[in-house]
Amino acid sequence: MNYQNILKDTMQSLLDKGADKVSIDLNVTTKEEFNVVFKELNLLRSLESQSLSIMVLKENKQATTNLNQLDRKSIETAMEQLMSSVETANEDPAFDISPFHEPFIVEKGPQKIDSDGICNRLNRLTERMKDKYPTVHYDAIMSYINEKFIYMNSNQTIFEETKGYYEFMLMFSAKDGNKMSSLNYTGFSLADIDKDLLDINFTEQLVKQITEQIVTKPIPDSFIGDIVLLPYITGELLVSFINSHLGNAGILFKSSRFPDHLGKKIFDEKLTVHTRPLDPELSSASLVTPDGFLAENATIIDKGVLKHYLISLYAAKKTGMKRTVGPCNSLVIEPGINQIDDIIKNVKKGVLCARLSYGNPNANGDISGVLKNSYYIEDGKIKYPISETMMSGNIVDMFNNIEAVSKEYVNIGDMKIPFMQIKDVFISKK
């Protein structure tokens, strides 16, 4: 199927029907999924999906639609509805499409599945789990994913990206007699499958920990101390902050605590954050932004100083700000100088946090959550796994109270994240 021709014909039809500007993007994804259930590789399936998004502009009015059928009748119906909707939409001069760019067509990652390689990796996983962790119950999924993304607009911009990568997900708990740990999980994407899955991103350490978490104890008392965040938690919190305060939501709704802070220090100098969509090690990173620009590398926070807002073309035009690198994409937190073992040795009293169940921080950045699959630390030693314990703090204060950042980091496919030690966090018994 010639997808570009379908998009070009659709765009021209909309222009002929009276649209001033048009942008279209198409995502076609195929997934070959291999499952380990009840400790055996026993389920294989193929999945395919397609999604077509269309936006039209007319007299400063905008209408959008999404559909998953590419036959002519479905597209014709969608176009008629769009042109009807745009007539009654509200005017906003900030609506626009990205400017002309030379055509860009790229392939990234493996374009064909290595089925034997996937089976070998999953069989090796089951062998090692059976041999070393017989009390662990788990399900694993490994997939090969091929995504074709095409963006096109009436400014003659055409981007086409086809990327292939592998995706792994592991969910696990441990049971001994009538005692059982809580559930934990991990996941990441890869450009190749040349390593044992347990040897990637501290996966075996997480599995080993779950065997220790069959029996947990409460912390001795509530206290203000350190929390050592595993990389996944650091990444979640940082993305949550950026979306709330440095991205479209915070800027458009004027809820950001840092609305006019370019060039100003907002965080601890130990924190440097980049957007690196061009990093070849980020297997699932996208080279095209959601607002129709080629993605680019940049530094967002440099030693605590804000360098860029991650806002879209619409948010920039709406607020009069400058669009630079566009929406949040492919973050890399710069590693520190300390080994994680040394970081733990320097904690007088605190918690090693492997999983955090929390709601979105409020507008001020206040956050609270339940610490799960976590450990109590005292005098530089990990003492024991803790029963569910609460933490509370302020996400802005937390990133201003960074005690240490680790040399080690995980690469989950669209982010690279180290461990992080945060001081002065309130830890309490549930």
- Domains by residue range for the chain, with CATH: 3-212 (3.30.2290.10), 216-430 (no CATH)
Distance of CA 366 to the CA centre of its chain: 21
Q: What is the mean pLDDT of residues 286-297?
A: 96
Mean pLDDT of the chain: 96
Both tokens of 357, joined, read 């169940």
Say if strands 402-411 and 375-378 run parallel, antiparallel, or are unpaired: unpaired
What is the predicted pLDDT for the residue at 113?
Answer: 96
Using the predicted structure, report yes or no on whether residue 236 has a pLDDT greater than 80: yes
> Helix, strand, or coil here: 316?
helix
Give the angle subtended at the CA of 242 by the CAs of 356 and 368, to the nearest 5°: 30
Above 90 in pLDDT, residue 160? yes
Identity at 150, one-letter amino acid code:
I
Query: Range with the lowest mean pLDDT among 1-15, 113-127, 133-147, 359-373?
Result: 359-373
The dihedral built from the CA positions of residue 350, 354, 360 and 364, taken in this order, carries a sign that is: positive
User: Per-residue confidence at 38, pLDDT binned at 50, 70, 90?
Assistant: confident
Give the three-class secondary structure for 114.
Answer: coil
Burial (CB count within 10 angstroms: exposed 0-12, middle 13-18, buried 19+), residue 339: middle
Which is nearest to 199 in space by CA: 156, 219, 170? 170
Q: CB within 8 A of 426, min separation 6: which ones?
A: 222, 223, 224, 391, 392, 393
Locate 147 and state its tokens: 């995504």
The CA–CA distances, whole Å, from 273 to 238, 302, 330 equal 9, 7, 10
Instruction: Please tell me the distance from the alpha carbon of residue 229 to that of residue 304, in angstroms, as a whole number.
Output: 19
Percent of the chain, pLDDT > 70? 100
φ, ψ of residue 45 in degrees (nearest 5)? -155, 155
Is residue 222 helix, strand or coil?
coil
DSSP-based three-state secondary structure for 401 = coil
Check: CB of residue 374 under 8 Å from CB of residue 389.
yes
Nearest 5°: CA angle at 102, between 97 and 104? 95
Going by pLDDT thresholds of 50, 70 and 90, the confidence category of residue 364 is confident
CA-closest candidate to residue 96, choices 59, 65, 57: 57
Tell me the pLDDT band of 328, cut-offs 50, 70 and 90: confident
Provide the pLDDT confidence category of residue 73 given band limits of 50, 70 and 90: very high
Are the CB atoms for 307 and 267 separated by under 8 Å?
A: no
How deeply is 131 buried, as exposed, middle or buried, from its count of CB atoms within 10 A (0-12, 13-18, 19+)?
exposed
Q: How far apart are CA 132 and CA 140, in angstroms?
A: 17
Average pLDDT over residues 181-189: 97
The structure's pTM equals 0.95
Closest by CA to 118, choosing from 194, 31, 38, is 194
Residue 161's pLDDT band (cuts 50, 70, 90)? very high
Average pLDDT over residues 348-354: 97
pLDDT score of 362 more than 90: no
Alpha helices in 45-200 (DSSP H): 72-88, 115-132
